[in-house]
Copies of this chain bind each other. A is one copy, B any other.
Amino acid sequence: MKKVLLIDDEERMLELLALYLKPYHYDCRKALGPKEGLQYIEEERFDIVLLDIMMPDMDGWSVCREIRQHSDVPIIMVTAREQKVDIVKGLKLGADDYITKPFNEEELVARMNALLRRAKPGNHVEMDGLLWDRDRFELSYKNQYIKLTPKEFSLIGLLMQNPGRVYSRNQLIDLVWGMYSETEGRTVDSHVRNMREKIREVGFPIDDYFHTVWGVGYKWIRK
């Protein structure tokens, strides 16, 4: 499901946008005002951002520039009415498109899809702020990067991608190490320990998610 960040300083507009997008099964996060918006950007990964450019304490262009410091995420500016100069300014600052209020639902969704179509599809899973990204070979929590070894990285990736499923040590060895590996089951434990420790350090409640199934193996549980 695509994650959308809505940034506006009017509660009502946020609700309206979310309502529009609801039937299309986007996962909407509402940010009331630029500060909150930028904070979310720092903490999470989004597929697209809808940004209102008429906000009192910080104008949309500054927000646009700020976002571009951190991320390449597609940005659609939302403007009150057509103002050619502003549009050009926004596009130059790194926005990808704009749409004017009042807009119709269909056009909004069509524009979002046109942008999402161009975005490179990534291979990732996210759980309560913990992001596993195969393309980047990175695990991160709220923009803190957790340095993992290759085995640790594959291990957690497999588990996160199959929440609820138990894997025995031998299954994990087959899947992560590769079939016909001579490695012993106990070795998995060491990697699990090291991995848990590293993730605990950045403040993610790993023990709520990564469970030991006594006598069987390990599983990742979806909260």
User: A interface vs B, CB < 8 Å?
Assistant: 74, 84, 87-88, 91-92, 94-97, 104, 106-107, 110-111, 113-114, 117-119, 135-138, 149-150, 164-166, 213-216, 219
Contact B107 A136 (CB under 8 A): no
Contact B150 A216 (CB under 8 A): yes
A-B contact pairs, 24 of them (CB 8 A): A74-B118, A84-B104, A84-B106, A84-B107, A88-B107, A88-B110, A91-B107, A91-B111, A91-B113, A91-B114, A92-B113, A94-B117, A96-B114, A96-B118, A97-B97, A118-B118, A118-B119, A135-B165, A136-B166, A136-B219, A137-B213, A137-B219, A149-B214, A150-B214
Copies in the complex: 2
Chain B residues, CB < 8 A from A164 = 135-136, 138
Q: Which 10 A-B pairs give the minimum distances between C-beta atoms?
A: A150-B215, A91-B110, A137-B166, A88-B110, A91-B114, A88-B106, A136-B164, A118-B118, A137-B216, A96-B114
In the bound assembly, the distance between CA atoms of A50 and B19 in angstroms comes to 34
Output the least CB separation between A193 and chain B (Å).
19
For A135, give the chain B residue with the smallest CB separation.
Answer: B165
**CB < 8 Å neighbour of A92 from B94, B110, B119, B215:** B110
Chain B residues, CB < 8 A from A107 = 84, 87-88, 91
